[in-house]
Amino acid sequence: MFLAWREIKYSKTRFVLIIGVVVLIAYLVYFLTGLAYGLAQENRMSIDKWDADGIVLADESNLNINMSMFDKEQMEEIEASEKASVGVAPSVVQLENQTSEESKVNITFFGVDKEEFIFPEVIEGEEFNKDKEAIANISLKEEEGFEIGDEVSLAGADLTVEIVGFTDNAKFSVGPVLYINQPTYQQVRASGFGEREEEIISAIVVRSDAEELGDVNIGSDDLELYSISEFISNLPGYTAQVLTFGLMIGFLVLIAAMIIGIFIYVLTLQKSSILGVMKAQGISSAYISRSVIGQTFLLSVMGVFTGLGLTLLTGLLLPAAVPHQYNFIFLLSITALLITVAVAGAFLSVRTVVNIDPLEAID
Amino acid sequence: MKLIELKEVNKTFQDGRKTIEALKPTNFSVEGGEFVAIIGPSGSGKSTFLTIIGGLQSPTEGEVLIKDQKFSNLDEKERAKKRFNEIGFILQASNLIPFLTVKDQLKLVNKIKKTKLDEQRVENLLSELGINKLMNKYPSDLSGGEKQRAAIARAMYHNPSVILADEPTASLDTDRAFEVVKILARETKKQNKATIMVTHDERLTEQCDAVYVMKDGVLKNKQEE
């Protein structure tokens, strides 16, 4: 580290430029990770909020909850340690006194039963007690200015609901969720289709005490049981999105390793006459190599942590509408990964150091 | 005591089908406090000779001993270790590391040996060479003469037995060159080193105890010529 640090201090401009490149790459990697994670979270947040193990959908629905629909009475046939029914309906809402296009918001209605375990915890206001009352995700307050007591009308239907409370972490398909009771859900779902006699729901969410949902029995051919992880990975676009981001992040990390590796390699080549003199003096290749690797470590640590700082700063400044979120474990593993691959890139130069012939220092 | 000794050392190279004898079988030794010059035209084998003494290449036959101990027959790693401890190099364009201050050049030795910097010794050595005020300067801030004096300090600092100087005055004007050689001679005596200086400038050999001439791979004492 002695040589490594002295050299960085001596050739400040050169190393600041290298660190700058590392900062930019790290920044991009962190930022993309934040976005990818944020977006993934906004797809699945409301499902994670259920804290459930399995979900029962209509057999015909092809794992698409929006297409799943069956009679609530079928719930009685299902055996599980805990179960809850949910009706899901995507919709467009608008504050009642507003008419502009911009004030329309895409949301998803979750029809839930107050007694069942998926009923959300209210962080502001109160729970709904009667029909046509709703608990909304807090983002509707932060981004759209919804307030408790506001009347919200549904697009294309003669129906309004009143916001009585807010909950958090309730997003589905990157949009906010409005929780309503199941009788209201029936009206939402029926709007445009006419009344139905039976009570319709989209899915039954179950908790299980056994491994692989072994203790859950659905008792019907029309229904199918899936694990929550399978359900999440089949959310429309979810897996494609996660894979795309994952690939981009993976490549960026690889590119970071190569760029740092090449920089250090070129620096080592430039220094080869000095290194030759050092080897002639009897300084071992191991010492010089350690110094090269130590230097890379210093550079990558400085670059990566500056990038991390910038990312967190950007996170504070970014509007809430941009889906970004940072997870401590992700940040930690990306940091470790970036530094590790950078140091691995420096091993490219070790061979050069070993191959430098001290004889050339004399001739 | 013979600090360095060459026994029947020769070096041959293969150039295509021809065998070139860069150094004919040579016996040679230098004692503590002895300052020896080797002169000769370029291509005469001076550098080959010096690099064999310095253990940078192995002789084809014969062996080099440092303080009566094996040197040239050691494997490369051991040889590098011994070189680090027993030999101080002073090279033409100075062997200073550009990104270290004069003091740090010396401190590097401590770092590698994992010992503490001996401030007193640094101070003494640098004042002896008249560059103690330049302790915190980088090589690029020093003049040619100052650089070579710093290089001498670096070569002496770890207290080696043998000092090898390869054209140490090549980049200096005559006055500076004489001054550097004088310092080298003085320190050789004072610190009881065996110093071997390769040069093409015969005028610089006045300070030396013995002068050898290298010609076509044959080393001869100048007085015998």
Considering CB atoms only, which of A7, A281, A363 is closest to B84? A281
For residue A205 the two structure tokens come to: 């969410």
Tell me which H or E stretch contains A30. Answer: helix A12-48
Please say if the pLDDT value at position B155 is more than 80: yes
Averaged pLDDT for residues A248-252: 89
State whether A199 and A58 are in the same domain: yes
Q: What is the pLDDT of residue A193?
A: 58
Q: What is the pLDDT of residue A294?
A: 94
Inspect the interface and report whether the beta carbons of A362 and B47 lie closer than 8 Å. Answer: yes
φ, ψ for residue A149 (rounded to 5)?
95, -15
| Closest Cα in chain A to B94 | A277
- Provide the shortest C-alpha distance from residue A271 to chain B (in Å): 10
- Provide the shortest C-alpha distance from residue A281 to chain B (in Å): 6
H helices then E strands: how many in chain B? 6, 10
Q: What is the pLDDT of residue B142?
A: 92
Q: Which residues are registered as beta bridge partners of A105?
A: A93
Averaged pLDDT for residues A175-194: 84
Q: What is the pLDDT of residue B141?
A: 93
First to last CA, chain B: 26
State whether A31 and A66 are in the same domain: no
Size of interface A-B (CB pairs under 8 A): 68
pTM of the model: 0.80
**B107 interfaces chain A, CB cutoff of 8 Å:** yes
State whether A135 and A243 are in the same domain: no
- DSSP symbol at B84: H
Is A222 part of any domain? no
**B137 interfaces chain A, CB cutoff of 8 Å:** no
Residue-range domain boundaries for chain B? 2-221
Considering CB atoms only, which of B47, B81, B104 is closest to A363? B47
State whether A253 and A354 are in the same domain: yes
| Closest Cα in chain A to B46 | A363
State whether A59 and A163 are in the same domain: yes
Q: What is the pLDDT of residue A300?
A: 93
State whether A142 and A252 are in the same domain: no
Residue from A6, A15, A268, A281 to probe the interface with B (highest B Cβ count within 10 Å):
A281
Tell me which H or E stretch contains A146. Answer: none
A198 neighbors A75 (Cβ within 8 angstroms): no
Is A317 part of any domain? yes
Averaged pLDDT for residues A98-125: 91
Q: Which residues contact A4 (CB under 8 A, 6 or more apart)?
A: A291, A292, A294, A295, A298
CATH number, domain B2-221: 3.40.50.300
Q: Where are the alpha helices (DSSP H) in A98-210?
A: 139-144, 182-190
A310 neighbors A317 (Cβ within 8 angstroms): no
Give strand ranges (E) for chain A: 54-58, 70-71, 82-95, 105-112, 124-125, 133-137, 151-154, 160-167, 171-172, 175-181, 200-201, 203-207, 223-227
Tens-digit pLDDT profile for residues A281-340? 889 999 999 999 999 999 999 999 999 999 999 988 888 778 888 888 989 999 999 999
State whether A310 and A174 are in the same domain: no
pLDDT confidence band for A191 (50 / 70 / 90): low
**B210 interfaces chain A, CB cutoff of 8 Å:** no
Q: What is the pLDDT of residue A195?
A: 62
State whether A352 and A263 are in the same domain: yes
Give the ipTM.
Answer: 0.86
A351 compared with A362, residue with greater pLDDT: A351
Q: What is the pLDDT of residue A214?
A: 81
Q: Which chain A residues have a beta carbon less than 8 Å from that of B104?
A: 2, 6
Averaged pLDDT for residues B162-176: 86
Tens-digit pLDDT profile for residues B84-100? 999 998 887 667 899 99
Write the DSSP string, A235-279: STTHHHHHHHHHHHHHHHHHHHHHHHHHHHHHHHHHTHHHHHHHH
Is A273 part of any domain? yes
For residue A302 the two structure tokens come to: 């400085």
- Provide the shortest C-alpha distance from residue B77 to chain A (in Å): 8
Q: What is the pLDDT of residue B65?
A: 92
Please say if the pLDDT value at position B41 is more than 90: no
Q: Which residues are registered as beta bridge partners of A134?
A: A163, A180
Taking the C-alpha atoms of residue A47 and residue A110, their distance in angstroms, rounded to an integer, is: 11
Averaged pLDDT for residues A11-28: 92
| Closest Cα in chain B to A4 | B99
Please say if the pLDDT value at position A194 is more than 80: no
> In percent, how much of chain B has pLDDT > 70?
99
State whether A39 and A63 are in the same domain: no
**B84 interfaces chain A, CB cutoff of 8 Å:** yes
Burial status of residue A191 (CB atoms within 10 A of its CB: 0-12, 13-18, 19 or more): middle
Burial status of residue A153 (CB atoms within 10 A of its CB: 0-12, 13-18, 19 or more): middle
Please say if the pLDDT value at position A346 is more than 70: yes
Write the DSSP string, B88-107: EEE-TT----TTS-HHHHHH
In this structure, is the dihedral angle defined by the CA atoms of residues A113, A114, A119 and A124, taken in order, positive or negative? positive
Is A262 part of any domain? yes
Q: What is the pLDDT of residue B16?
A: 86
- Provide the shortest C-alpha distance from residue B97 to chain A (in Å): 6
Is A113 part of any domain? yes
Is A283 part of any domain? yes
* Domain membership of residue A70 as a residue range: 54-207
Look over chain A and give the mean of its residue pLDDT values, rounded to a whole number: 89
Is A224 part of any domain? no
- Provide the shortest C-alpha distance from residue A231 to chain B (in Å): 60
pLDDT confidence band for A148 (50 / 70 / 90): very high
Tokens 């560059």 belong to residue: B131
CA distances from A129 to A113, A114, B161 (A): 11, 9, 95
Tokens 């809850």 belong to residue: A84
| Closest Cα in chain B to A8 | B99
Is A158 part of any domain? yes
Please state the domain count of chain A: 2
Q: Which residues contact A70 (CB under 8 A, 6 or more apart)?
A: A58, A200, A201, A222, A223
Question: Cβ atoms within 10 A of the Cβ of A150, count?
Answer: 20
Averaged pLDDT for residues B6-24: 89
What 3-state class would DSSP assign to B131?
A: coil
